[in-house]
Amino acid sequence: DIQMTQSPSTLSASVGDRVIITCRASQSISTWLAWYQKKPGIAPKLLIYKASTLESGVPSRFSGSGSGTEFTLTISSLQPDDFATYYCQQYNSYCTFGQGTKLEIK
Amino acid sequence: QMQLVQSGPEVKKPGTSVKVSCKASGFNFTMSAVQWVRQARGQHLEWIGWIAVGSDVTNYARKFQERVTITRDMSTGTAYMELSSLRSEDTAIYYCAAAKSWPDVFDIWGEGTMVTVSS
């Protein structure tokens, strides 16, 4: 199975900060990678798919990049609503999630 | 409006089975795939498996392969996830999600179903 490794597991930041979350695949997945935002009690929300395509309705401060085995999610200027847990998921073969990155208020 | 509506909360005894449903509307169910994901309290999202609705092909995570069955009923536009030999560690919220045009990203999510396993 393809393993997905996210880092960091926890990130403390302030409103207005630029943050980057990394996701590494154990083997190449081309660009079959999605990023989701997860809040307690709410279903995951799709942010980015095909590694860099912004889902309709998602603010442009979110962006994704990468291909093969290395991927990043960038939030250019954190807003209060962005404090949540973020997951990457590969959907190339089976569909593995990363372990998540909890974005906390500093 | 494209949506997935899941069945209600379940309380089960250890060793029994649970079957959760996920009814699709607003998109072509036959062209889609449906995955099942769970999240236990304080834990990360865990992928269980998916079904390609039109072809009835399934793919399961190795961890669940012996205990899970994902099916679909095209006449009602509903997908199902049945998990057997339940144990307390299976207590979690179970989500279904659809990829409208398979293969593609899972972009439509159900609201989740709480499954509690307790003696």
A88-99 pLDDT, tens digit per residue, is 999 987 899 999
Each residue's pLDDT tens digit, B58-93: 999 999 999 999 999 999 999 999 999 999 999 999
| Among B26, B36, B46, residue whose Cα is nearest residue B79 | B36
Question: Residue B10 in 3-state DSSP?
Answer: strand
Among B44, B104, B112, select the one facing A43 at the smallest CB separation. B112
Instruction: Give yes or no for A68 touching B (CB within 8 A).
Output: no
- What is residue A75's predicted lDDT score, i.e. its pLDDT? 98
- What is residue B102's predicted lDDT score, i.e. its pLDDT? 83
- What is residue A10's predicted lDDT score, i.e. its pLDDT? 97
The pLDDT confidence band at residue A1, using thresholds 50, 70 and 90, is: confident
Averaged pLDDT, B36-49: 97
CB within 8 A of A79, min separation 6: which ones?
A15, A59, A61
- Residue B108, pLDDT > 80, answer yes
Averaged pLDDT, B27-33: 95
Can you tell me the distance from the alpha carbon of B8 to that of B112, in angstroms, rounded to the nearest whole number? 9
Please check whether residue A47 is in contact with residue A62, taking contact to mean a CB–CB distance below 8 angstroms. Answer: yes
Among A49, A50, A87, select the one facing B45 at the smallest CB separation. A87
Q: Which of A7, A91, A93 to mutate to test the interface with B (most CBs of B within 10 A)?
A: A91
Each residue's pLDDT tens digit, A59-74: 999 999 999 999 999 9
Can you tell me the distance from the alpha carbon of B101 to that of B27, in angstroms, rounded to the nearest whole number? 9
Range scoring the smallest mean pLDDT among A15-24, A59-68, B102-111: B102-111
Question: Residue A82 in 3-state DSSP?
Answer: helix
Can you tell me the distance from the alpha carbon of B94 to that of B15, in angstroms, rounded to the nearest whole number? 18
Can you tell me the distance from the alpha carbon of B114 to that of B107, in angstroms, rounded to the nearest whole number? 21
CB within 8 A of B27, min separation 6: which ones?
B2, B98, B100, B108
**What share of chain A has pLDDT > 90, as a percent?**
93
- What is residue B116's predicted lDDT score, i.e. its pLDDT? 98
**Angstroms from B96 CA to nearest CA on chain A:** 9
Q: Which residues in B lie closer than 8 A to residue A55 (C-beta atoms)?
A: 107
The pLDDT confidence band at residue B35, using thresholds 50, 70 and 90, is: very high
**What share of chain B has pLDDT > 90, as a percent?**
96
- Residue B101, pLDDT > 90, answer no
Q: What residue of B is the nearest CA neighbor of A56?
A: B107
**What share of chain B has pLDDT > 70, as a percent?**
100
